[in-house]
Amino acid sequence: MSGRSFPGWTGPPPAGVVVDLDDTIYPQATYLRGAVSEVGRAAQAAGLDGEAVCRALRSEIHAGSDRNGTIDRALARCAVPPDQAAKITPVLVRAFVGYRPERLPLYEDAGAALAALRTRYPLACLTDGNPVIQRAKLAATGIVDAVDLVVITDELGGRARRKPHPAGLLRIADRFGVRAEDLVVIGDRPSKDIAAAVAVGARSIRVGTGEYAAAGDLPPATVSVPNLVTAASLLCSLVQGPEVRRAPAPQSAR
Ligand SMILES: [Mg+2]
């Protein structure tokens, strides 16, 4: 697929490929924009200034989109009295969690990159987060149909199983009938995706897309590339064609 070389990449082709979802396959900012608007509408309906709540929420998300208590802090920023905030927060959380985008566009050519990978390797998507939200994103991106297996870490035992916990990769290795250290992980976050790969002794490819593109390289990935398309080029160049693909195990986690 590609004649380029990738310094630092050595060893045989992986036995399976694991791809992160948010900011690796599609830009999560698109989802967050829609979810924030949904919260703004709910806030307006509850008698608050919906625009002000949206602005406050955007600021909180900008400081880190996966922190707890984002909506509480946004209401505090809007000087909503604590007793009123206590009543409204659950309503706004429901609006956020209940947001169902019809479609979330992938990064350019990401769909073709996944399709190319899937002709050569068992392909899984490993993602963290509230399963209701992650399922909505999976549906809107069409990823459920683009991979052999989807694993949402929270469904393996709650937040404690989120990356860098190795549980997700171990589950995928088990379903694919391969060793976890023979997988390769493609992801955007060193402290999650790359660290999870390190935890099982697997190789990793960091992509420089999304919210964490400027984060430090800790732990370092096996190689870093600009995006998923380049990562797929690297992996596809390791094997001649579809005939080497191994059949994945049953997809009971989809
Ligand atoms: Mg990510």
Residue with tokens 């505090």: 76
- pLDDT tens across 22-72, in order? 999 999 999 999 999 999 999 999 999 999 999 999 999 988 777 788 999
- Residue 110's SS3 state is helix
Residues lower than pLDDT 70 in the chain:
1-4, 241-254
Indicate whether 120 and 237 sit together in one domain.
Answer: yes
User: Minimal CA–CA distance to 104: which of 54, 40, 33?
Assistant: 33
Is residue 254 domain-resident? Answer: no
Indicate whether 88 and 111 sit together in one domain.
Answer: no
Indicate whether 78 and 159 sit together in one domain.
Answer: no
Indicate whether 142 and 188 sit together in one domain.
Answer: yes
Indicate whether 119 and 234 sit together in one domain.
Answer: yes
The predicted structure's pLDDT at residue 242: 65
Q: Is 49 exposed, middle or buried (0-12, 13-18, 19+ CB in 10 A)?
A: middle
Indicate whether 93 and 152 sit together in one domain.
Answer: no
Polymer length in residues for the chain = 254
Ligand 1 geometric centre to CA of 100 (Å): 19
Is residue 116 domain-resident? Answer: yes
Q: How many domains does the chain have?
A: 2
Ligand 1 geometric centre to CA of 211 (Å): 8
Residue-number span of the structural domain to which 53 is assigned:
29-97
Which of 97, 116, 138 is the C-terminal boundary of a domain? Answer: 97
Is residue 7 domain-resident? Answer: no
Is residue 249 domain-resident? Answer: no
* Angstrom distance (rounded) from CA 248 to CA 238: 19
Q: What backbone phi and psi angles, to 5 degrees, belong to 127?
A: -140, 150
Which of 54, 80, 97 is the C-terminal boundary of a domain? Answer: 97
Indicate whether 211 and 120 sit together in one domain.
Answer: yes
Ligand 1 geometric centre to CA of 206 (Å): 10
Which of 47, 65, 97 is the C-terminal boundary of a domain? Answer: 97
Taken in order 220, 225, 228, 233, the sign of the CA dihedral is negative
- Residue 224's SS3 state is strand
The predicted structure's pLDDT at residue 80: 95
Say if residues 38 and 24 touch (Cβ distance below 8 Å). Answer: no
User: Minimal CA–CA distance to 195: which of 231, 232, 222?
Assistant: 222
Q: What backbone phi and psi angles, to 5 degrees, belong to 26?
A: -145, 160
Ligand 1 geometric centre to CA of 150 (Å): 14
